[in-house]
């Protein structure tokens, strides 16, 4: 179990900011090797649990910063909370490896069937489950490590979970490479070469195409200290800073970070929004403000409010966050005692609609998402597919507004940037990122970062962005393709097992 935990921790080096993606395949290969040697199902599950703990603890240790430094939680309790989260997330890996060990015993499977069919399938199915069960926590999903690897070419077809399945398949083939059976070894090598050659080739396929004229954008990075962000004495200064940054130069789209405005519209200084609306009309600039809003029932939302040149003061465009963060934007039942130990501003927020209209910016349609939401690729793809199914033009540009100041200058920042790159790969659309402390960036439709601001600096990123239209297979089918492949792999393993049993019975 110690070896498995170390292997899991090493896998984190495959993700940003490190990017040593082959380490992940080697790490998974070590996990699969240990599970294959496990004496029973329980041993296989415990090995998986240890691997998952090392992986999650090393990869999300930055949660300690938000709870201790900014949430005023006692250091020992914050450290225990991070460890408990890692132990809970590791259960998914434990179930995946326990299931694989159980199937091996029940079906009496050969080594190739286990390494190429069962282990990659169970790994993928439980990783997908982690992405939606209890609202989901897909951070550090395997596929994100491969946005720059040859496997990235498959992202527009099977998405991030599909890349995770291919990485697990590669790990299984790697085990066969070191197997003493000569024929199996060479077949595994040929399969790996073909897989990665296909991935490289797919990177040259253009699933989407340019639409309309490019737009100019200005993405603001306020660098507002998290410990001051919600301080009533600091709010007016922050509002003035953002107003000055917005009106310093025109652009087709000017975007602020998540909760750049920390107060509700009726709590703003008189004329604040009206002055921005006037600037928008005078310069032709569309302004997107991250701010909380209220609905008619006095329920508030984490939102992005759009002020357009051709609009009148209110009602403005609104995108309301749909996928909320547990403990940050809603409190799971029975866990208010845990939240009470922190001094983090929390609220029982409302959920926006699953499908929301994009914001029109000249020739382009911009679809916002807020912070944590861009971890859920199928939800973003679903919004694009919904417009296509209803005969409407789908969004041509994606925009993420975030406030990651909760996590300091930690690896959470480049990890989130890598997640946004994956959304661009899956949809074939550029992704803009306007953040408080980083990573503020422009990503093209191939998942390549075109421009990036240094973290923890107050600055503005100006760029010209070409919107993209068309449908990738992932937009149309989401995770259905990889789930079908995993199910087919398990069915094939079952049929091979039954055929082997019948052969042995005939010989007897």
Catalytic residue numbers, as ranges: 258, 321, 371
In the DSSP assignment, the letter for residue 411 is T
Q: Which residues contact 76 (CB under 8 A, 6 or more apart)?
A: none
State both tokens at 299: 């329920």
Q: Give SS3 for 364.
A: strand
Beta bridge partners of 442: 432, 451
Q: How far apart are CA 434 and CA 257, in angstroms?
A: 5
Contact 324, 313 (CB under 8 A): no
Beta bridge partners of 469: 209
Place of tokens 């993606």: 21
**Residue among 124, 110, 122, 116 nearest 192 (CA):** 116
Q: How far apart are CA 326 and CA 308, in angstroms?
A: 32
Q: Give SS3 for 295.
A: coil
Output the 3-class SS for 253-271.
EEECCCCCCCCCHHHCCCC
Output the 3-class SS for 149-218.
CHHHHHHHHHHHHHHHHHHHHHHHHHHHHCCCCHHHHHHHHHHHHHHHHHHHHHCCCCCCEECCCCEEEE
> DSSP labels for 129-140?
HHTTGGG---TT
């Amino acid at each position: 179990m110690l070896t498995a935990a170390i292997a899991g921790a090493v896998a984190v080096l495959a993700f940003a900011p490190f990017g040593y993606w082959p380490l992940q395949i080697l790490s998974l290969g070590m996990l699969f090797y240990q599970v294959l040697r496990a004496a029973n199902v329980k041993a296989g599950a415990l090995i998986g649990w240890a691997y998952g703990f090392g992986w999650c603890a090393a990869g999300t240790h930055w949660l300690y910063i938000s709870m201790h430094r900014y949430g005023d939680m006692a250091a020992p309790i914050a450290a225990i909370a991070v460890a408990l989260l890692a132990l809970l997330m590791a259960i998914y890996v434990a179930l995946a490896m326990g299931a694989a060990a159980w199937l091996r015993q029940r079906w009496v499977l050969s080594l190739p069937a286990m390494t190429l069919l069962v282990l990659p399938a169970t790994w993928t199915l439980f990783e997908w489950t982690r992405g939606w069960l209890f609202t989901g926590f897909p951070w550090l999903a395997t596929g994100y490590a491969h946005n720059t690897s040859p496997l990235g070419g498959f992202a527009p077809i099977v998405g991030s979970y599909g890349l995770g399945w291919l990485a697990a398949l590669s790990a299984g083939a790697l085990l066969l490479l070191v197997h003493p059976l000569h024929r199996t070894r060479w077949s595994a090598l040929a399969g790996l070469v073909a897989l990665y050659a296909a991935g490289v080739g797919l990177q040259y396929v253009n699933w989407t195409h340019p639409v309309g004229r490019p737009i100019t954008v200005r993405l603001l990075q306020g660098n507002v200290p998290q410990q001051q962000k919600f301080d009533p004495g600091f709010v007016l200064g922050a509002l003035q800073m953002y107003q000055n940054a917005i009106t310093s130069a025109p652009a087709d789209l000017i975007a602020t970070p998540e909760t750049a405005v920390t107060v509700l519209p009726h709590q703003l200084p008189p004329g604040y929004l009206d002055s921005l609306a006037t600037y928008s009309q005078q310069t032709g600039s569309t302004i997107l403000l991250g701010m909380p809003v209220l609905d008619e029932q006095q329920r508030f939302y984490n939102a992005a409010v759009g002020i357009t040149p051709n609009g009148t003061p209110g009602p403005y465009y609104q995108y309301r966050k749909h996928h909320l963060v547990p403990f940050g934007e809603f409190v799971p039942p029975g866990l208010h005692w845990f939240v009470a130990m922190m001094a983090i501003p929390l609220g029982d927020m409302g959920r926006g609609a699953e499908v929301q209209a994009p914001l029109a910016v000249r020739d382009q349609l911009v679809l916002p998402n807020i912070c944590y939401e861009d971890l859920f690729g199928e939800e973003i793809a679903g919004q694009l597919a919904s417009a296509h199914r209803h005969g409407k033009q789908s969004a041509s540009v994606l925009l993420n507004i975030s406030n990651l100041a909760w996590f300091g200058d930690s690896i959470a920042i480049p990890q989130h940037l890598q997640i946004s790159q994956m959304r661009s790969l899956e949809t074939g659309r550029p992704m803009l990122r306007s953040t408080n402390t980083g990573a503020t960036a422009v990503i093209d439709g191939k998942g390549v970062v075109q421009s990036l601001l240094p973290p923890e600096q107050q600055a503005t990123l100006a760029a010209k962005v070409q919107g993209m239209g068309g449908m990738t297979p992932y937009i149309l089918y989401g995770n259905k393709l990889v789930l079908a492949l995993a199910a087919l792999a398990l069915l094939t393993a079952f049929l091979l097992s039954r055929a082997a049993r019948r052969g042995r019975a005939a010989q007897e």
